[in-house]
Structure 1
Amino acid sequence: MSENYYSGKFGIERETLRVDSQGRLALTPHPFGNDAHITRDFCENQVELVTPVAGSIEETLGYLKVLDDITRKKLAENGESIWLYSNPPHFDSEDDIPIADFTGDHSSKRAYREVLKQKYGKKLMLFSGIHFNFSFAEEFINEMNTEGEDFRTFKDELYLRLYKQLMVHSYLLVLLTTASPYYDASLDKDGRCGIIMSEYSSLRNSKRGYWNKFLPILDHKSLKTFTGSIKKHIVTGSLYSASELYLPIRLKPKGVNSLENLAANGVDHIELRMFDLNPSAPLGIDGRDLEFAHLLILYLTSQPDFDFTPELQEKAVSDHKNAALLSPDAELLERGESVIKEMERYFSSNKKALEIIRFEENKITGNACYKKAAMNCAL
């Protein structure tokens, strides 16, 4: 493997909710102005930290810590703190979920969120998590382009093949990183309270989470057909915009995140959107999980292309939702373990990579809960 093989660009987007001293949703305005790195997503009481582009996972976690420190300090001054769980705390009603008050040049963001409110309700938008962004080093892409194809075309095809592979294997990252089996009853119905043990290990990745009201079937033959198939869903009114495409993997352009920009200028990076907030990790994410995701990306890049048929697209989403159950199907666990074993062989000469892979493998083979699930035992 070349010296560019493990290089690339990395970024993290972390969503959390602001809570007051009683652990209830903070109803104060977003206290960070229009800071591009400390913003909000759907609602005014949700803080989204967006790291600068980094040259390694370690570096991007360093950026995240700086942003996290700034956020916590500012919130503490207001008697508030971060809710480091993917599922929200107790709330009385949707009145406690004010839509993010974007104004001026950003007012279109508020209009979009008003559409989401009408279409999905505001409770769904409280789910928070981690998005992991990655792009290959251009030197690595050039090394892979052994036939000397047009760089833009080769790059787009490379990311599109990776997109398909990651969609098919997104279940594995869900299996390994779910961290939200408990939730407050107010998520079910206004006025209820009390902690509920769900049938899901991750509500936001389950059938109760972020999904469209239909499964958008896409055409993956080329970036042109891919963006065109998304555009058709927008033209017919099934989707308001490409941002409403609630699938666990996204292809992103450089600069403005729009379908037009992606179609015109090509893929800049790929986004993995399935990571739960890990309340046992100070920053909400264990760096080893991101390192494994990077290794999975590299491994899947080496795998052959395939036709991502409508049937396979349906199965990929079904597997993803299945992986979010407290007791996933034994077949899914076995398949995940098989992929990890293949990755061990693929990275057999890299000691650090093997340590990361075995750390993740132990979550399946060494965890009593998963053993019970594999034996079809009720938890």
Structure 2
Amino acid sequence: MQAQLQTLTSPGYRQLINTIQRGIEKESLRITPEGRLAQTPHPASLGSALTHPSITTDYSEALLEFITPVDTSIEHSLDTLADVHSFVYAQLEDELLWAASMPCVVNGDDSIPVAEYGNSNVARMKTVYRYGLGHRYGRLMQTIAGIHYNFSMPAEYWQRAWDDAGKPEPLQDYISNRYLGLIRNFHRHSWLLIYLFGASPAVCASFLRGRDQHGLQPFDEQGKTLHMPHATALRMGDLGYNSSAQRGLKVCYNSLDNYISALRDAIMDPHPDYQGIASGRDGNYQQLNDSLLQIENEFYSTIRPKRVTRPGEAPLKALHRAGIEYIEVRCLDINPFTPVGLDAQQIHFLDTFLLYCLLEESPPCDSDEQSRQAANLNAVVNRGREPGLELFANGGSRPLSALADDLLSGMSGVAELLDNCHDNTLYSAALEEQCSRVADPERTPSARVLREMRERDVPFFRLAMGYSERWAQYFRERPLPPEVAQRFAAETASSLAAQQAVEAADELGFEDYLAQFYAQYQKL
């Protein structure tokens, strides 16, 4: 690590480190003024959810997803995300955006409208996939929102690093293997992100209505809120994006071929649990297939290797064709205490953390280590702020606080490097703030959620509703520059036209379209 840091301080690397590329994908539920899930369709004034570059939907018509373009400026990325919020609020009339990861008041699966994308084959595939998720896991899980953070090093950095390493393998293989090293280290250390940024220690009781085996405790006498006293991010545990069926899926990150092979088999091989769900018989598609995974996106993971796909191209084929282009971090809760769900300080730390994972030595992992990593993550999700909590480490166990201190201390050189490259001290300041959260768990967002609920004597729903109303007023009053408003209006119009063009271009029936899509996996 120290040798790599020393190399990166040389003049030739300074500008390359200064141009780390990032993108943000932020989900938010549309809700009524009363705090219930919106039943209205995706607003036409927001354009086509299929083709709009910045505004789409995830599982539900009511689950908006905002996407920022690839950018090298943290401030500009956050400003762009805020602009999307401002534009959306100008179109929403009296609806609001829910300011938390765990959902608002929900009335079971039937109250959750599945997203629709039009009449094209690609649109129908997206909707059928979502119906499949609903049948497999229930629709309630799909109302949980989060933030995805995309991260990559610039091409010029990889060219220079490859040259300096002596060109040990083809350039793209070198890049993919370095990103896989980052991913392995991320899995070793991601419990720290859950501790530092988890903001979902409690849920509205309506989310668990009819479910008794959840292990949560009532927060209030009325039973309106369920929680775990020392939880950090229930969204990342058994209540959230988790699948008992997938627990037997062993995905290896030691090589790209192994990763592709494991997911390809999960997509192609029938799974007994899902064979009773219609997948095309007599034209009835309630899921895309009866395999463990319908498509790659169904594999629930805290981080993914990614490459931008060509039209109609399967993600695994894109990775096989040209290797890993960037990584997607998927374990971040929405922070209800900030307008867009995260802030610059969090991003400064994320960049420090991810660069550390890239530069740190990353030995191959095995199934035993993966089991320990999963146990650590689960412990921090449910008991992260518990005094004296110990995690697996180095063949034994150590207190979370000691492990976190060591990990954050190890990142100090990376933070200093980033400070020097950007002529500021923001990265070291972000690191120092995280150190303070380890020293005092009450400084974490999860602790603040429970503390404010107690101090205000309100259930989770009322706390999140209050922040939703606060940020709604903030964005409705926030001026949107005329040229930005005009750009969004143009994107809305062009996205609607693009959807029509996609629909007009279809030449295959849906069954043949799916057969052609899945044929890609046979060749991997």
Please indicate, yes or no, whether the TM-score normalized by the shorter chain is above 0.5.
yes
Contact 2:57 2:65 survives alignment (8 Å): yes
Q: Is the 8 A contact 2:306 2:326 kept in 1?
A: yes
* Residue 253 (structure 2) aligns with: 220
| Pairing partner for 1:324 from 372, 381, 399 | 381
* Amino acid corresponding to residue 307 of structure 2 in structure 1: P
Match of 1:95 in 2: 110
Q: Which residue of 1 aligns with 2:409?
A: 341
Is residue 171 of structure 1 aligned with residue 191 of structure 2?
Answer: yes
Q: Is the 8 A contact 2:352 2:414 kept in 1?
A: no
**How far apart, in 2, do the equivalents of 1:22 and 1:347 lie?**
44
C-alpha separation between the residues in 2 aligned to 1:73 and 1:317? 42
Structure with higher Rg: it is: 2
Query: What is the aligned partner in structure 2 of residue 195 from structure 1?
Result: 225
Aligned to 2:517: none
Q: Determine the C-alpha separation between the residues in 1 that align with 2:263 and 2:172.
A: 21
Structure 1: tracts of 5 or more residues without a match: 374-378
Partner residue in 2 for 1:376 = none
Structure with more relative contact order (C-alpha pairs < 8 Å, separation 6 or more): 2
Instruction: State the alpha-carbon separation in 2 of the partners of residues 341 and 123 from structure 1.
Output: 40
Q: Which has the higher helix share?
A: 2
2:426 to 330, 341, 352: 352
Structure 1 residue 238 displacement after superposition: 2.0
Give the aligned partner of residue 14 of structure 1: 26
1:195-254 deviation digits (Å, cap 9, x = unpaired): 223353222112322122232212333212221121122222222221111010001112
Deviation at 1:336, TM superposition (A): 1.8
Determine the C-alpha separation between the residues in 1 that align with 2:204 and 2:322: 44
Percent same amino acid among aligned pairs? 26
Deviation at 1:177, TM superposition (A): 0.4
1:16, 1:210 → 2: CA distance?
A: 16
Q: State which of 24, 29, 41 in structure 2 corresponds to 1:29.
A: 41
Which amino acid letter does the alignment assign opposite residue 278 of structure 1? N
Q: 2:99 aligns with which of 75, 84, 91?
A: 84
Aligned letter for 1:88? Answer: P
Of 339, 347, 350, the match for 1:282 = 339
**Distance in 2 of aligned mates of 1:363 and 1:206:** 21
Q: How far apart, in 2, do the equivalents of 1:302 and 1:275 lie?
A: 22
Counterpart CA distance in 1 for 2:228 and 2:103 is 14
In the alignment, which residue of structure 1 is the partner of 2:133?
A: 116
Asked whether the 8 Å contact 2:54–2:67 carries over to 1, the reply is yes
Distance 1:22 1:169 in 2: 40
The amino acid that maps onto 1:176 is L
1: distance between equivalents of 2:374 and 2:77? 29
Letter in 2 for 1:211: N
Of stretches 139-148 and 341-350 in structure 1, the one that deviates more from structure 2 is 341-350
Q: Distance in 2 between matches of 1:74 and 1:48?
A: 15
Would the aligned equivalents of 1:206 and 1:322 in 2 still touch at CA under 8 Å?
Answer: no
Looking at structure 2, the residues matched to 317 and 73 of structure 1 have their Cα atoms a distance apart, in angstroms, of: 42
Bigger shift: 29-38 or 159-168? 29-38
Range with bigger deviation, 179-188 or 8-17: 179-188
Find the aligned partners of 2:108 and 2:140 in 1 and give their Cα distance: 9
User: What TM-score comes out, normalization by structure 1 length?
Assistant: 0.92
Give 5+ residue unaligned stretches, structure 2.
1-8, 212-221, 270-290, 391-398, 420-424, 448-453, 455-524
The answer to whether the Cα contact below 8 Å between 1:217 and 1:313 also exists between their aligned partners in 2 is: no
State the Cα distance separating 1:345 from its structure 2 match: 4.3
1:70 partner amino acid: F
Deviations 1:21-50 (A, max 9, x none): 111111000112312311110011111001
- Aligned amino acid, residue 37 of structure 2: L
For the residues of structure 1 that align with 2:254 and 2:187, how far apart are their CA atoms?
15
Report the Cα offset of residue 120 of structure 1.
0.2
Letter in 2 for 1:367: P
Structure 2: distance between partners of 1:368 and 1:356: 17
Whether contact under 8 Å (2:183, 2:357) holds in the other structure is: no
Aligned match of 2:236: 205
1:189 deviation in Å? 1.0
Cα shift readout 1:290-346 (whole Å, capped 9, x = no counterpart): 211111111122211211101111222222222222435242332122100111245
1:52 and 2:52 aligned: no
CA contact (8 A) 1:12 1:132 kept: yes
CA contact (8 A) 2:78 2:344 kept: yes
Q: CA deviation at 1:102?
A: 2.1
How far does the alpha carbon of each residue in 1:128-179 deviate from its partner, in whole angstroms, 9 at most, with x for none? Answer: 0100001101111122112124211111111111111111111111111011
Cα 1:150/1:112, change in 2 over 3 Å: same
Deviations 1:48-73 (A, max 9, x none): 00111111222211110111111112
SS in 2 for 1:324: helix
Deviates more, 1:323-332 or 1:82-91: 323-332
Classify 1:55/1:347 alpha carbon distance in 2 versus 1 (closer, same or farther; 3 Å): closer
What TM-score do you get using the length of structure 2 for normalisation? Answer: 0.67
Give matches, 1:125-136, under 5 Å. Answer: 125-136=142-153
Alignment CA distance shift 1:37-1:293 (3 Å): same
Per-residue deviation, 1:261:
1.4
Moved more, 195-204 or 180-189: 195-204
> How many residue pairs were aligned?
370
In the alignment, residue 342 of structure 2 is paired with which amino acid? I
Question: What secondary structure is seen at the aligned counterpart in 2 of 1:325?
Answer: helix
Which of 246, 254, 260 matches 2:308?
Answer: 254
* Separation of aligned partners in 2, 1:208 and 1:182: 11
